[in-house]
Amino acid sequence: MEHILKELLSRRERLLINDEKLRQSAVLVPLFTKDGAHHILFIRRSQTVEHHRGEISFPGGLCEKDDGGLEATALREACEEIGLAPHHVNVLGMVDDMATVSTRYRVTPVVGVIPYPYAFRISADEVDEIITVPLLHLLAEGNGREESITRGGKTYTGCMYHYRDSVIWGATARIVKNVLTLWNGVMPLTDTSSSP
C-alpha cells in the first residue's frame, strides 16, 4: 500500500499557493495501522499556543531558515510537538497547499507513515492530546459535509469531520478530504458502516 501511495503522490500534480503575503508552514499527516485498520493521527492544540488554541490539527508549524525544506519543517515540528523521531517517519509525499484565513498561513501537508504503537512524548506547551481516528470513521456517512461553526465571534462554513467530541474543520478538514480522496484512489474503503 505504501509504495502505491508514494508513487501516486509523486505523479500527482500538486496545487501550490504562491502568495508571498502568506507565511509558509508545513504539517505532517501521520498515517498508521492499528488492529488491522488504517488510522490518521491528529493533535489537539493547547490553550497556550499563539494561534488555533484548542483546535484539532496536524503536528506542524512555521518554516525556519535552517530547516532545509518543507519536509524537514514537518518532521522537526512533529518531533518537537509529539516526540516523533524524523527517522521513524516514512515520508510518502505531499498533497495540495492550503491557506488559513485567520492566521494567513500557507500550509504544505507532508504525508508519512509512522510506526504504531509509539512512545510519543507530548510537548505540554503546544499539545493537549493526541487523537487517533480510523479512516473508515472519517469516511462514514455524514462526515465531511458542509457545515457552519462559530469561533471567536466569526462563523466559518466548510467541510467538517466529527469524531467523538471533536470537530475537525478549516484547513485541517480540507487536508483530510484531500488525503481521503487520494487514499480511495489507491485502496477503496467502502465499508463505512462501522464507526466507534
pLDDT along the chain (196 residues), means of 10: 87 93 97 94 86 85 95 98 98 96 92 97 96 93 90 88 94 95 67 37
Identify the residue whose cell numbers are 521513524. Answer: 88
CA distances from 67 to 9, 75, 135, 173 (A): 22, 10, 30, 26
Cβ-in-10-Å burial (0-12, 13-18, 19+) of 66 comes to exposed
The pTM of this model reads: 0.91
Domain ranges, ordered by start, for the chain: 2-134
Q: What is the pLDDT of residue 39?
A: 95
Q: What is the pLDDT of residue 152?
A: 77
Superfamily (CATH H level) for 2-134:
Nucleoside Triphosphate Pyrophosphohydrolase (3.90.79.10)
Q: What is the pLDDT of residue 196?
A: 36
